[in-house]
Amino acid sequence: IGCVAAVIAAPLGWCAATEVKMDSLLSWHRLFGTATGVVALPFLWLHEWLPYWGQVAGLLGLAALVGIAGHFGNARVHGSFF
């Protein structure tokens, strides 16, 4: 479910950001959000053929991308000292 949500959320984020002034935090948020969507799609297709350690590594990598993208999004909305 998370991989599907990431693939849907990435293009929706690009559409929503067209009306907002671009700054450094938004650029980083957009970069990591797009990377999450791009990495999630092949992982969604390939996870059944990966060995267990490959599945764990892929999920940890995706979780890190989500966390980093969320950090930059939160810093943009709430400021650097949230």
State mean pLDDT over 39-68: 89
> What pLDDT does residue 25 have?
86
Query: Higher confidence at residue 12 or residue 81?
Result: 12
Cβ neighbors of 39 (< 8 A, separation 6 or more) are: 61, 62, 65
pLDDT at position 24, please? Answer: 86
Give the separation between CA 16 and CA 59, rounded to whole angstroms: 27
Whole-number average pLDDT of the chain: 86
pTM value is 0.80
So what's the pLDDT on residue 82? 67
The overall longest dimension of the chain from CA atoms, in Å, is 43
**pLDDT tens-place string over residues 2-52:** 778 888 888 888 887 777 777 888 889 888 988 988 888 888 888 889 899
